[in-house]
Structure 1
Amino acid sequence: MAAVNEPAASKEIPTGGAFLFQEVGTSRFVTPETFTEEQRLFFRTALQFSREQVLPQAVRIEHKDNVLLRELLRHAGELGLLSVDIPEAYGGTGLDKTTSLLLAEAMSLNGSWSVTFGAHTGIGSLPIVWFGNAAQKAKYLPKLGTGEWVAAYALTEQGSGSDALGAKTKAVRSPDGKHWILNGSKLYITNAAFADVFIVFAKVDGDKFTGFIVEKDTPGLTVGPEEHKMGIRGSSTCPLYFEDARVPAENLLGEVGKGHKIAFNILNYGRLKLGAGVLGGMKLQLGNALRFVQERKQFGTPIVRFPLSREKLARMAALIYALESMTYRTTGLVDARLAARDKSAPGYEGHLLAAVEEYAIESSIMKVYGSEALGQVVDDAVQLHGGAGYIEEYPVERAYRDARINRIFEGTNEINRMLITGMLIKRAVKGDLPLFAMAGNVAEELSRGEKPRARTDDALAPQEVAAEVAKRLALHGLRVAAETFGPELEQHQEVLASLSDVVMDAFALDSLVTRTRQAASGGTLDPVRLALVRLFALDSIPRAYDRTRRALCATLQGDALDKELKRLATQDIFTPYNPAELRETVMAAIESAGGYPFTE
């Protein structure tokens, strides 16, 4: 199913990347405070499942108990947790994407289980949901939705990871036309040891990248031994080998030569879901670290009383608040574009794909920011545990190892940094985003030494200005780089990566300020939320300047560089806050809640 162009009526909904060109608070967006009761119910059900059925089994899961993983998938299916993205016509509930992401968050308390669940409900099942024909959907989706069958996704090969289209596995039509004959191999396939259905990509006649649905008992298919991994050890990861594997002709997925549409659309959605898929683990580690430092004493004092311990806990909460704000803002935009669509109408999947693709920039942000925020949180959690953080008895040891894979999943963070800025420029060239026009205005303002001003005169005004400055830095850096390097810009990865970081901080600050204002009660800003935004800004504002300077230094030389650095200096802003006071405001809420203060 191909994505379709959305009608002009969608224009009142911000387009992908529009946050960079619109003032903070231009439009309201979905936040955890605005979730519906149905969304909250699904989240609570999934969270209870994770706490009661998954976490107590962590040791068995870690030791690769595949029988247990299948049982857990069946139990999740009985609760309706596997079928949220499956249409009602095929036994699912066909709910909104915000609910889907809420389930991803709830299921992320254990890394191995999160990967098992995500591979089945996401990359394993969605290719059939989105690209399967009616017969394929009727055959596979009801069983995948209940957990009777388990799905897996086979894309990666020895020489093709981020370069997915470099796959070597081949498919040819059998002489009688009844089968596709596959030869080749796949690596790092999640759920492989116990999957019933594989989504496999191969090149028809050696050059037409194509998707296939391959069942586990296919003649010529062999599942290799389990890989022994640094993290997510409990998830099944095996290679697949195809030796004249005979796949029925009717198991062709989509069209010959159009497999890239399947792969790339699945990756877009997977990147968006990863933002939510690390939130649950981040919140769990904050709560666990808090309890540990409350009980552990040094020099006769609970560790939680030491300022540097409290600083780490407050920083963890700020990262969670930022990622949560960006993630549900984005999925809310996807849902808004689909709100008027009839889910049962022909072509609905095309509109869904178009909505997901529209926010591919934000999805890559979620992937990079989420995976790196999780890495920071688990690192701080290990540090707070001290030596105990290295002992298997403590869950943080496993969480630290499990977290590392997220910077590789769904396209490496390096690839996604290139995509963020690359997609912005490509959309600008097509005329979909006013990047060059806006950047020209910014250049003039920089020459005059003008700084943006806040639209709202409240306690968040300095952070609103900071968000607008970050946007200006990103726009100006992209314009200078594009004018300097022209078509060769994509070869200058250090420039694009640095500016991607500025774009991400701009999106985070914009989301934080807007969400906090939306959550204000009677016009009064919540002091804890205000402190979280300010704490985040204390780190992100200097980082945005640093990354912009790096990009300019990698782009220009001599007098041209000096000129741009002087113009950049006109935007330097600093609002003094006592970090200890901000920290204590946040810590009071964390200690009162026993963890992240805004959890359902």
Structure 2
Amino acid sequence: MSTETTKNDILRGGQFIVKETACEDVFTMEDLNEEQKMMRESTREFVDRDLWAHWERFEKKDYAYTEETMRKAGELGLLGVAVPEEYDGLGMGFVSTMLVCDYISGATGSFSTAFGAHTGIGTMPITLYGNEEQKKKYVPKLATGEWFGAYCLTEPSAGSDANSGKTKAVLSEDGKSYKISGQKMWISNAGFCNLFIVFARIEDDKNITGFIVENDPSNGITLGEEEKKLGIHSSSTRQVFFNDTVVPVENMLSERGNGFKIAMNALNVGRIKLAAACLDAQRRVINEAVTYAKERVQFKTPIVNFGAIKQKLALMATNVYVDESASYRAAKNIEDRIAMRQAEGNTHQEAELKGVEEYAIECSILKVAVSEDVQNTTDEGIQIFGGMGFSADTPMESAWRDARISRIYEGTNEINRMLAVGMMVKKAMKGHVDFMGPAMAVKDELMGIPSFDTPDYSETLSEEKALIKSLKKVFLMVAGSAAQKFGTELEKNQQLLMAAADILIEIYMAESAILRTEKNIKRTGLESQATQVAMSQLYLFNAVDIIQTKAKEAIISFAEGDEQRMMLMGLKRFTKYTNQPNVIALRNQIAADVEENGKYRFDG
């Protein structure tokens, strides 16, 4: 594909809310090429053989086994999927890195956390911000599993406000080194890592600076005891103390004062990969739950026959189908944007940084949506298992505990909700997304006379697609009016921002599933996609309920009088179905598919 074609076909980050996407322009799991399918299968085999079969060891805080299996992952090349070949990595694209993160998550939260911390925030900052000497020295060791990495950003007084850290870096009199002193906490992989990415402040700089620090206990580095945690029991998590730790000046990462930028860009990548790391975790829970439900007999019948259980299985399967659709849609957008920039002459570092940064809104959306779905799926998994689900003898209990951290990692879900809307407004101000123009058009539409024609929705998913277009008007109406009313003060209205974010999230997720299903209907026919149609319709039905509630909450919070009445009437108009779906029938259809196949089958 030519660079010009790529430019024309790929929407910029956030533009999905103001432009219509053709189903042919989205990437789905059904589009994976043979190389990607092979990578998926090798990851699955590793997880089944070395991780899932030994999940009890991870629950018994067997940190040594986590380290052992991480080395095996390195031998298989799984730690270097995203690393360029010149640094002993596989040099694969962004979709392939997402695939590995996805299927690694089917193991345990402990291993998935160790893997993510090493490949993401442990290795990636050097790959993307390091100079050539730094990359040659450190990245091959990290890519092959000879060394492991960790990321030291969080401090007792600096969590979400990452730039407020108090760790200091003082330049030596001869100008050849810095002495770093400070305390870092919640450091994943601290117990067995060889290298830290450390953020510290030089003098009274406004922004922190990044450093590559080798883990040498004789150099003023001490570790706290392993943290006692709700979940991820075999993920080594410790405090790290630096006491005049000497770091050569050549180990400064990027430029002085660039640490906050490094941290924020690392979070963008981390957010979408965290979404991927919640996918196979959901599939495994569904598979375990349906197996149990078919075997567990109560009142002389397997509990899978009960409507209450069918409802749970249907919602669990629907959520992961939607999550897959949105995650791989965004991943391919990022991969294509990276390729476009490289074709224009950007270096690998520049292209990947800008490619991911372009879709920061989508990364935040995915982080929130998928992390909350994995929590709900594991919770329903426990419920299907009943008393046995509460027992530590089954993997449901540990899956639920491990899932809980995903709503905190990579910026809390509350912060990511506010970021998604805040970044959308900023993109509008920069002219990257024409946000206010369409918002004003919606306002004009509200003052006009609505059409009373009955639309033709005879084609499958045609009403759902029309409804998505109307739901986008809800977001534009609410967010546009709020931005006009509050201006630069909008960011102080956190509850309003979170309500708007929930509308934005539901639109992106629902649209992604509908586009995936529509694309596959055109490819393989409607009959093959019957359950996928049902899942797309069920998710949208539930999304409309959420959007109605959140939009009403937002409108009443800032609009009054005629403006409020007009917006509430608009909300009713934009969320109206012509043909309401039979939700119970949809659930039963989806549950029957999961029961018949004995598993979630839609990931290929």
Q: TM-score, normalised by structure 1?
A: 0.96
* Corresponding residue of 2:477: 476
Give the Cα separation in 2 of the matches to 1:341 and 1:305: 53
2:40 equivalent to 1:36 = no
Per the alignment, residue 338 of structure 2 pairs with: 338
Give CA-to-partner distance per residue, 1:348-367, whole Å, 9 cap, x none.
21011111000000000110
Structure 1 residue 507, shift from structure 2 partner: 0.8
Q: Which amino acid aligns with 1:230?
A: L
Deviation of 1:25 after TM superposition, in Å, equals 2.4
Cα distance between partner residues in 1 of 2:95 and 2:455: 31
Does 2:550 match 1:538? Answer: no
Q: Name the structure 2 match of 1:595.
A: 599
Is 1:210 the counterpart of 2:212 in the alignment?
no
Q: Secondary structure at the match of 1:439?
A: helix
Q: Offset of 1:137 from its aligned partner?
A: 0.8
Cα deviation code 1:445-480 (max 9, x no counterpart): 222254799898512112112211211100110111
Secondary structure of 1:199 counterpart: strand
1:88 to 69, 85, 90: 85
CA contact (8 A) 2:157 2:164 kept: yes
Match of 2:50, SS state, is: helix
> 1:3 matched to which residue of 2?
none
Instruction: Give 1:141-540 correspondences, 5 Å limit.
Output: 141-207=139-205, 208-217=207-216, 219-340=219-340, 347-448=347-448, 450=450, 458-520=459-521, 521=523, 523-524=525-526, 526-540=529-543
* Secondary structure, counterpart of 2:105 in structure 1: helix
AA aligned opposite 2:482: A
1:597, distance to aligned residue in structure 2 (A): 2.0
- Provide the C-alpha distance between the structure 2 equivalents of 1:353 and 1:450, rounded to a whole number of angstroms: 45
Q: 1:69 to 1:494 in 2, by over 3 A?
A: same
Q: Which stretch has the larger CA shift, 543-552 or 452-461?
A: 452-461
1:388 positional shift? 1.1
SS in structure 2 at match of 1:519: helix
The aligned amino acid for 1:499 is: A
Q: Relative to structure 1, is the Cα distance of residues 567 and 345 closer, same or farther in structure 2, using a 3 angstrom cutoff?
A: closer
Q: Would the alpha carbon gap of residues 343 and 571 (structure 1) be closer, same or farther in structure 2, given more than 3 Å must change?
A: closer
CA distance in 2, matches of 1:53, 1:232: 17
* 8 Å CA contact 2:102, 2:279 repeated in 1: yes
Deviation of 1:108 (Å):
0.5
**For 1:21-49, what per-residue CA distance to the aligned partner results, in whole angstroms no more than 9, with x for missing partners?**
11252651110000111011111101111
Give the direction of change, closer, same or farther, for the CA distance of 1:366–1:162 in structure 2 (3 Å limit).
same
Return 5+ residue gaps in structure 1 as ranges: 1-5
Note the C-alpha offset of 1:560: 3.1
- CA 1:454/1:503 → structure 2, altered by over 3 Å: closer, same or farther? farther
What is aligned with 2:128? 130
In structure 1, distance between residues paired with 2:301 and 2:592: 18
Change (3 A) 1:454 1:41: farther
CA–CA separation in structure 2 for the residues paired with 1:551 and 1:344: 43
Determine helix, strand or coil for the equivalent of 2:208.
Answer: strand
State the SS of the aligned residue for 1:194: coil
Q: Is the 8 A contact 2:181 2:243 kept in 1?
A: yes
Code of the residue aligned with 2:444 in structure 1: it is: E
Superposed CA deviations along residues 43-67 of structure 1, whole A, max 9, x for unmatched, are 1101111111011222222222222
Deviation at 1:518, TM superposition (A): 0.6
Distance 1:423-1:531 versus aligned 2 partners, 3 A rule? same
Structure 1 residue 576 displacement after superposition:
2.1
| Amino acid paired to 1:532 | M
Structure 1 residues 572 and 55, CA, compared in 2 at 3 Å: closer, same or farther? closer
Match of residue 73 from structure 1? 70
| Structure-2 separation of matches of 1:125 and 1:105 | 18
Contact in 1 for aligned 2:471/2:575 (Cα 8 Å): no
Distance 1:20 1:117 in 2: 34
Comparing 155-164 and 568-577, the one that deviates more: 568-577
User: Which of 561, 568, 572 is equivalent to 2:571?
Assistant: 568
CA distance in structure 2 between the partners assigned to 1:454 and 1:349 by the alignment? 49
Q: From the superposition, tell whether residues 178 and 357 of structure 1 become closer, same or farther in structure 2 (CA, over 3 Å).
A: same
1:557 paired with 2:557, answer no
Q: Which amino acid aligns with 1:510?
A: E
- Contact 2:110-2:232 at 8 Å conserved across structures: yes
Identity percentage of aligned residues:
39
Runs of 4+ in 1 over 4 A off after TM superposition: 6-9, 340-346, 451-457
SS at match of 2:80: coil
Residues 178 and 283 (structure 1), Cα distance of their counterparts in 2 relative to 1, 3 Å cut: same
How far apart are 1:588 and its partner, in Å? 2.5
Equivalent position amino acid for 1:537 in 2: L
Measured after TM superposition, the shift of residue 125 of structure 1 is 0.3
Distance 1:175 1:453 in 2: 79
For 2:156 and 2:191, the matched residues in 1 are separated by 19
Q: Which moved more, 1:512-521 or 1:179-188?
A: 512-521
For residue 242 of structure 1, give the secondary structure of its aligned residue in structure 2: strand
Instruction: Give me the whole-angstrom Cα distance separating, in 1, the residues matched to 2:344 and 2:183.
Output: 37
User: Once the 2 structures are TM-superposed, how far is the Cα of residue 484 of structure 1 from its aligned partner?
Assistant: 1.4
User: Contact 2:342–2:351 at 8 Å: present in 1 too?
Assistant: no
1:118 paired residue number: 116
The amino acid across from 2:403 in the alignment is A
String of CA shifts for 1:99-152, please: whole Å, max 9, x gaps: 001000111021111001110111100001001111111111111111110100
Q: CA deviation at 1:557?
A: 2.8
**Rounded Cα–Cα distance in structure 2 between residues aligned with 1:215 and 1:263:** 19
Q: Give a deviation string over 1:373-402, Cα, whole Å, max 9, x none.
A: 111111111111111111000100001111
Q: Distance in 1 between matches of 2:23 and 2:45?
A: 37
Contact in 2 for aligned 1:389/1:396 (Cα 8 Å): yes
> Which SS does the other structure have where 1:573 is aligned?
coil
Whole-angstrom CA distance in 2 between matches of 1:101 and 1:473: 32
Contact 2:477 2:567 in 1 (8 A): no
SS of structure 1 residue aligned to 2:354: helix
Between the aligned partners of 1:95 and 1:455, the Cα distance in structure 2 is: 45
Is the partner of 1:232 in helix, strand or coil?
coil
TM-score, structure 2 length as denominator? 0.95
In the TM superposition, residue 523 of structure 1 has moved relative to its aligned partner by 4.8
Distance (Å, rounded) in 2 between the aligned partners of 1:347 and 1:565:
49
State the Cα deviation string for residues 212-262 of structure 1 (Å, max 9, x = none).
011110611111111010011110100010111111221111111111121
CA distance in 1, matches of 2:158, 2:455: 47
Q: 1:343 to 1:91 in 2, by over 3 A?
A: farther
Q: How far off is 1:78 after superposition?
A: 1.0
Q: CA RMSD in A?
A: 2.0
Q: Distance in 2 between matches of 1:269 and 1:119?
A: 12
Residue in structure 2 matched with residue 51 of structure 1 by the alignment: 48
Q: Which secondary structure does the structure 2 equivalent of 1:595 belong to?
A: coil
